[in-house]
Structure 1
Amino acid sequence: MNLRSAIAFSGLLTRIPVRPPGSGRRWGILAVVLFGLLVPALAQAQVLIIEQHRRIVLPRPNPRPTPVPSAYCIRSVDVQAAIKDQAAKVQISQVFRNTGSATLEAQFMFPMPENVAISGLTLLVDGRELAGRLLKKDEARHIYEEIVRRQRDPALLEYMGQGMFQTSVFPIPAQAERTVEIRYTQLLKKENGLIDFLLPIGSTKHSNKPVETLNVTVRVEAGDQIKTVYSPTHQLEIQRPDNSHALCKMSLRDAYSPDDFRLLYGTVNGLVGMNVISYRPSESEDGYFVLLASPEVKSALAERVEKTMVFAFDKSGSMSGKKIEQAKEALKFLINQLKPGDTFNVIAYDSAVESFRPELQRADEATIKAALSFADGLYAGGSTNIDGALQTALKMLNDPKRPSYVLFMTDGLPTVGEMHELKIAANAKQANVVNARVFAFGVGFDVNSRLLDRLSGEHRGQSVYVRPNENIEAHVSNLYTKIGSPLLTDLAVNMEFDKVIPAGSASPISRTYPRRLTDLFQGEQLVWVGRYKYGGPVKVSLTGSVAGEHRTFTFPATLAERSPDETNGFVEKLWATRRIGEIIDELDLKGHNQELVDEMVHLSIRHGIITPYTAFLADERVNLADRESNVRRGLSLARSGLDKAEGKAGVEQRDYKARLKESASGPAGVPGMAMGGAMSAKKAGRGASKPADPESMRRLTAAKGQAAVTQNLEGEVEVLESVRNVGQKTYFRRGQQWQDSTVTPEQAKNAIRVTQYSPAYFELAAAHGGALAKYIAFDEPVLVNLGPKTYQIDPPPPEEGATDKPQDK
């Protein structure tokens, strides 16, 4: 019997029954080796049952049988890390449970990169320290290779080129729990002004059981002011009590496949801090960059910035009942947030348009009290005059030097006055003479979501959608908390290259997103991505208005001529995520375009970012090389989907588009769209469902990397088992094998054939210091490009005399 499953933070479990000496029973104590992860730059830990006497060879079925559930589960993983300057103290606590009926003998083995500065490594089981020994990379490689060869499981290949810390054996009795604590201190690296902390929690990528709770807490303290705080892997809750401290939290429930956790932070004194991260895998193509700009968290200057706020409030008949009460509370919250020196007004509209006062009011105790009384007196009734409300609000604004914002709320379609979408947008553009920012709130599904996106996009704001049964006040207060304190307005970024740019050449910086920069608010962070033509030193200038004064902030940066490894490969995927969001926005607002759809399909295939309009690519019958057919299908899906401006499908598509455009870390930064990030087994974003049948679960958990995730037109999140993201590559399952998305039909014909677990296979895994081993660590056939060559990795033939039953001596 071959039992295969996995447990969180301990990876893949293969269980082989063995017969201990002196026992007449066929089934005995099971010895296990747990391969844990302690240090940065590690991915999955492994659990392998090893023989006590002699190995029982198991034939390799094709297809593989449905696995028997594991005798292990993980109750929880809790990580506490404290970073002061560049020193990190880390404690990882894991609660394992033996759900089987036999005692398990466990041994931890920790892969350790040669270039990571780890000290004070301690492992405790139920509070008692466990002895261990450190193995150099050459000795460790023989152990990794032997386990892979013996177990016929390639998951350990990625540790080739790393050392190992090996502990002594400890028992886990049947039905018992063991709390395993790992403690270590690490000196963190600093590059491009950013301190880099990588935490290994990605050990459940082969698990068919979720981690019940996974919590990460990182406390950062620095002598200088902390500016940039950024994770390219996860969405974080970040608390900034002052300029020298940051508290970062991440929590997952029932998580199947979390990515390793990475945190980057930068320190610099002054009003604004800025960092640039670049990635260029090939000198023959433009590179990718992300610019991170962060203002002071606590700045006296922010209190001096006086702004104008106009609140346009829908009180039409459809707002009656609970909605009008929530909206009134939201409006009163906004009024109470006004600061001395701010000017404001309140517009309430139904068929007609009513103003709190005929003109803007200066915020003080008396005007705020009167405005609150005005809000309390509003009631629902009448139709919806969107055009009239917008023009009234925008025409009140008359000072172009003052930061001005319109918060516009509606729960319906325009039914009075101008009702044509494009004409309403044109009227608003004409009325906005001071370049005010417009933030649009759509309440419920009966809104024209395309109109709201058009308004917020043309006026450098944002659309927020409040679904039925969601609290209006919570959404409004969440947005205002972000935008309530503008610090730097009318932003512009310039990059000045040391290299001489030939006269008449195109700009060395291109395809930057967002296209139009928004204001920089206190406590917020600008994330700006783009492509670059020339590597080397650059001078980056960020300009804007601070309290009415024009200011320029200049920082040095270096763009990679060619990246030595894939450490910053996330920048490429982040750029692709935002570019796809921009493409969808253009298709939505400017009409259907075959060239844009062609690019969207190409990016989806290359980066595994599957949209509602390219979801057909996950179908194993689709030929990825049939460009014409794929573009035709994508164009048809985009047309039928984006033509829906109203209803649930309209709102969900615009919300999805916004999440792509605003993503701070690629798919991992899109709520509900990252299998290893914000997604859990029970809930992924909105409407997710987990695969239930055993074969789906086997394919989802046994394959390498992260399963792609998409969203359909109704907002339901779907896990795509046939698309996997591994490092910088995307694999599609076609037939009985995994295919690298960059392999062309001609390359496939001339692929070099390598048999899995053969000497040539292990030589390939060890090449380049083991950096490419993860790309062939599949337990099924795989077609892949590695450097200039293409390889077809085939499974080995079943071993002679193999049996899947326990054998007695």
Structure 2
Amino acid sequence: MKPALTVFTQLASTALILGLAAPAQADGMLMPHLPRQPIAPIREVPNFAIKHHKVKVTIKDQVAETSVDQVFHNPINRELEGTYLFPVPEGAVMSRFMMDVDGKMTSPELLTAGEARRIYEEIVRRRVDPGLLEYAGQNLYRARVFPIPARGDKAMKLGYEQVIERKDTLHHYRYGLSTEKFSSQPLQNASISITIETRQPLKNIYSPSHEISVHRIDDTHATVSWEASQVKPDQDFDLYWSTSTEAIGATLLSFKDGNDDGYFMLLAAPKVEWPAAQAQSRQMTFVVDTSGSMSGEKIKQAREALAFNLNQLTPRDQFHVLSFSDIVNPFTPGLVQAQGQPLSDALRFARGLEANGGTNINEALLTALKTPAGQGVPMLLFLTDGDPTVGVTDFGEILKNVKAANQRDVRLFVFGVGYDVNIPFLDKLAKENHGTSEFVRPNESIETKVSRLFAQISHPVLTSPKLSWGTSSTRDVLPTQLPDVFKGSQMVVVGRYRSPGSQTVTLSGQVNGKPASYSFPNQSFAAGRTPHSFLPRLWASRRIGQLLDQIRLSGQNKELVEEVIRLSKQYGIITEYTSFLVRDEVDVRARADAAPMMQQAEEQFTRSLSEADKGGSAVSQSQNAANLQKQAAPAPAGGGSYLDAEGQTTQVHQVKYVAQRAFYLKNGLWQDSLPAEKLPQLNVERFSPLYFALAQQPGVKDILALGEQVEFVYSGHLLRIADKGQSQLSPEIKNKLKL
């Protein structure tokens, strides 16, 4: 008979007082060891595997209730005991913290940061795993769990309340997902589901750490979700949201380090319940390629996509449909109202489209743009699967003609179908006409992609937007051309600034054809470091995307290439153009303009640009650049990912971004990219007193947590963690390293 479950626990004597505090780190780890034995480096005791991890959070105003379900798996043929560790940042306020292990409730022991540090350091020594150093310096809940059956599972449930961090109208919640990296196997599934209820209307909802799905129920209720499978999360989950009674709410986050120019991000979102009287109508023109190359499945999907989108129009919208091959075939001479007989006739027209003839892109677009103006925001959806073969066929001339004809600032949304379209031409066509471009691979659905975009642009709120930043001396603001604001959307703008201080930011534009302006006073451009340290890397991601677009669409330029390499190297952002940086033989500490670095770069750029016009690689390059430019959150702590020629995601595992610097894995050694050629080198013995003294310095514990082999610049020295080296914290060493 198996022994009954025993949980050894000592109730914390420290009272938890509700109040404003830092966000709580909210996930624990179960460290394995033999029954009644310390956590030791026994070969037969690997880390437990985490099979499932489900988190549900209910946030009402400033109080969050979090419940966690975890299932741990013992991978060996021997009964084990576990020590459950739950790190909590200093100052976090949590109450009603309870654990349910196989139906038995317990209150874990709360240890101070000093006590927790000793436990972490002891585990690091015994298990030869520096990863836990990341959590040193934080308070810690601890409980012992026994038994954990051989090759069996142990289900654990946690529940606690906490007070949400709030600054003015900005709220912040954190869940410490990064401890799941200690799982011996990828998680079968992990999910976070959050329900938010506020008294004031919700505006911006943003995660700098994960790609989230947001469903806005009404102005004061929303749900946020994230889900993944077969993953080992290594980054905490962060969520920000703001409240405002204004029609459009805005929040500015900023970060400045030393004398360097600062970084900022502005989030702006309209209210959900937008009054019907203020809803803007649209002038929708559909231009569909029906040339011979569209025959078969493509023309069938084009018919279905057009019919679906016609049915999504509202009675206040006006529309026009043109099909084209070597000749242009308009449905009507001009715009008609989206209701009654005109709509029924248009649906019959769409279902009767046939594919034959050549491709006269120039004439089709000029005919569409000459349509007499109607009421509402002018938009044009253009779908084609090939290059122009009839009429004007020069790409440059077509671009020039379209730009000259677009006197009404029509938003031109382009869809390229298949691999025979010229990708740079269609990208330029969209960019020069206030629109976007999408590409449909041979194995993808035209209807799905067209319908998804159509849903996003269904309710324009503010058109032709512009931003004024007060006297903050902003620069390198991205995107350079602001997108229209639609109901349910969120504008994300990043940039740099020279002058810190409080400013009034103004967003202006057109609402129903009339000027409108929204002012957001007391927006802080910080004078120093803030919790928003993700901003430099987010800005760098968007800047790299912009530079790659310039190179891809206008040709290779030494200065632009050099800046791409410098930013990619500094921030650990790897693309198909900079993938050479992860090769073992490439010295990432070399200057971006150094001859060996530029030679590698030119070879890689030349190879990529040779495939930038047509085919799968060209589609991926366009999508990669677009993804970087519209990125709302920085790449994960790793080097991120990009699409290969087949559209498959390439994950970059040889790069980590910690402590505001990029580290590259070179021949088993994690090394940062800071210049170190003239610095004295000092070997530090792993797990020695000096090693743990370094771990207590700001940022260093995160660096040491990368692994056993690490090399980094610190206090004017190049430190290398090694089997042998300096071990004692002598006065001379303390002085050298300023410890």
Relative to structure 1, the CA distance from residue 493 to residue 132 in structure 2 (aligned partners, 3 Å threshold; closer, same or farther) is same
Determine the C-alpha separation between the residues in 2 that align with 1:647 and 1:32. 62
Match of 2:317 among 342, 351, 354: 342
Is 2:629 the partner of 1:641?
no
Relative to structure 1, the CA distance from residue 304 to residue 149 in structure 2 (aligned partners, 3 Å threshold; closer, same or farther) is closer
Question: SS at 2:652's partner residue?
Answer: strand
Aligned 1:239-638 pairs, distance under 5 A: 239-282=215-258, 284-301=259-276, 304-396=279-371, 398=373, 402-497=376-471, 508-556=473-521, 557-564=523-530, 567-624=531-588, 625=590, 627-638=594-605
Residue 442 of structure 1, CA deviation: 1.1
C-alpha contact (below 8 Å) 2:418/2:441 kept by paired residues: yes
Aligned to 1:734: 666
Determine the C-alpha separation between the residues in 1 that align with 2:107 and 2:76. 26
**Which deviates further from its counterpart, 719-728 or 648-657?**
719-728
Determine the C-alpha separation between the residues in 2 that align with 1:301 and 1:590. 44
Aligned 1:191-270 pairs, distance under 5 A: 191=167, 193-270=169-246
C-alpha contact (below 8 Å) 2:28/2:86 kept by paired residues: no
**Which deviates further from its counterpart, 527-536 or 709-718?**
709-718
Segments of 5+ residues of structure 2 without an aligned counterpart are: 1-6, 10-21, 728-739
Question: SS at 2:477's partner residue?
Answer: strand
Residue 68 of structure 1, CA deviation: 8.1
Counterpart amino acid of 2:685? T
Residue 378 of structure 1, CA deviation: 1.1
Determine the C-alpha separation between the residues in 2 that align with 1:481 and 1:612. 31
C-alpha contact (below 8 Å) 2:659/2:700 kept by paired residues: no
Determine the C-alpha separation between the residues in 1 that align with 2:254 and 2:455. 31
- 1:395-417: CA deviation from partner (whole Å, max 9, x where unpaired): 21536x84211110011121111
Relative to structure 1, the CA distance from residue 326 to residue 787 in structure 2 (aligned partners, 3 Å threshold; closer, same or farther) is farther
**Which deviates further from its counterpart, 239-248 or 467-476?**
467-476
Residue 295 of structure 1, CA deviation: 0.4
Residue 239 of structure 1, CA deviation: 0.9
Counterpart amino acid of 1:589? L
Relative to structure 1, the CA distance from residue 48 to residue 741 in structure 2 (aligned partners, 3 Å threshold; closer, same or farther) is farther
Is 2:52 the partner of 1:76?
yes
Relative to structure 1, the CA distance from residue 792 to residue 555 in structure 2 (aligned partners, 3 Å threshold; closer, same or farther) is same
Aligned to 1:64: none
Relative to structure 1, the CA distance from residue 57 to residue 394 in structure 2 (aligned partners, 3 Å threshold; closer, same or farther) is closer
Residue 32 of structure 1, CA deviation: 13
Aligned to 2:633: 665
**Which deviates further from its counterpart, 193-202 or 537-546?**
193-202
Match of 2:621 among 643, 653, 669: 653
Relative to structure 1, the CA distance from residue 723 to residue 561 in structure 2 (aligned partners, 3 Å threshold; closer, same or farther) is same
Residue 789 of structure 1, CA deviation: 5.4
Relative to structure 1, the CA distance from residue 32 to residue 187 in structure 2 (aligned partners, 3 Å threshold; closer, same or farther) is closer
Determine the C-alpha separation between the residues in 2 that align with 1:765 and 1:56. 21
C-alpha contact (below 8 Å) 2:131/2:704 kept by paired residues: no
Question: SS at 1:305's partner residue?
Answer: coil
C-alpha contact (below 8 Å) 2:252/2:265 kept by paired residues: yes
Aligned to 1:778: 706
Determine the C-alpha separation between the residues in 2 that align with 1:416 and 1:343. 30
Question: SS at 2:69's partner residue?
Answer: strand
Determine the C-alpha separation between the residues in 2 that align with 1:616 and 1:392. 46
Determine the C-alpha separation between the residues in 2 that align with 1:635 and 1:192. 48
- 1:96-142: CA deviation from partner (whole Å, max 9, x where unpaired): 22232211112212122221111110111122213422111122222
Question: SS at 1:572's partner residue?
Answer: helix
Counterpart amino acid of 2:524? T
Relative to structure 1, the CA distance from residue 619 to residue 160 in structure 2 (aligned partners, 3 Å threshold; closer, same or farther) is same
Residue 622 of structure 1, CA deviation: 1.0
Aligned 1:26-45 pairs, distance under 5 A: 40-41=24-25, 45=29
Relative to structure 1, the CA distance from residue 141 to residue 208 in structure 2 (aligned partners, 3 Å threshold; closer, same or farther) is closer
Greater RCO structure (CA 8 Å; 6+ sep): 1
Question: SS at 2:181's partner residue?
Answer: coil
Question: SS at 1:204's partner residue?
Answer: helix
Determine the C-alpha separation between the residues in 1 that align with 2:44 and 2:543. 43
Is 2:115 the partner of 1:139?
yes
**Which deviates further from its counterpart, 627-636 or 315-324?**
627-636
Counterpart amino acid of 2:617? A
C-alpha contact (below 8 Å) 1:302/1:522 kept by paired residues: no
Question: SS at 2:469's partner residue?
Answer: strand
Aligned to 2:14: none
Determine the C-alpha separation between the residues in 2 that align with 1:715 and 1:272. 37
Relative to structure 1, the CA distance from residue 446 to residue 77 in structure 2 (aligned partners, 3 Å threshold; closer, same or farther) is same
Determine the C-alpha separation between the residues in 2 that align with 1:162 and 1:384. 65
Residue 250 of structure 1, CA deviation: 1.0
Identity %: 35
Counterpart amino acid of 1:104? L
Aligned to 2:736: none
**Which deviates further from its counterpart, 647-656 or 42-51?**
42-51
Counterpart amino acid of 1:635? E
- 1:520-558: CA deviation from partner (whole Å, max 9, x where unpaired): 000000000001011111110000111122111111210
Residue 629 of structure 1, CA deviation: 2.4
Segments of 5+ residues of structure 1 without an aligned counterpart are: 1-30, 59-66, 500-507, 669-704, 800-809
Counterpart amino acid of 1:237? S
**Which deviates further from its counterpart, 198-207 or 464-473?**
198-207
Question: SS at 2:178's partner residue?
Answer: coil
Residue 72 of structure 1, CA deviation: 3.6
Determine the C-alpha separation between the residues in 2 that align with 1:298 and 1:54. 58
- 1:445-487: CA deviation from partner (whole Å, max 9, x where unpaired): 1211111100111112111111112221111111111111100
Count of aligned pairs between the two proteins: 704
- 1:476-518: CA deviation from partner (whole Å, max 9, x where unpaired): 1111111111000010001113x7xxxxxxxx11111111011
Q: Please report the RMSD computed on the Cα atoms of aligned residues, expressed in angstroms.
A: 2.5
Compute the TM-score of the two structures, normalised by the length of structure 2. 0.90
Compute the TM-score of the two structures, normalised by the length of structure 1. 0.83
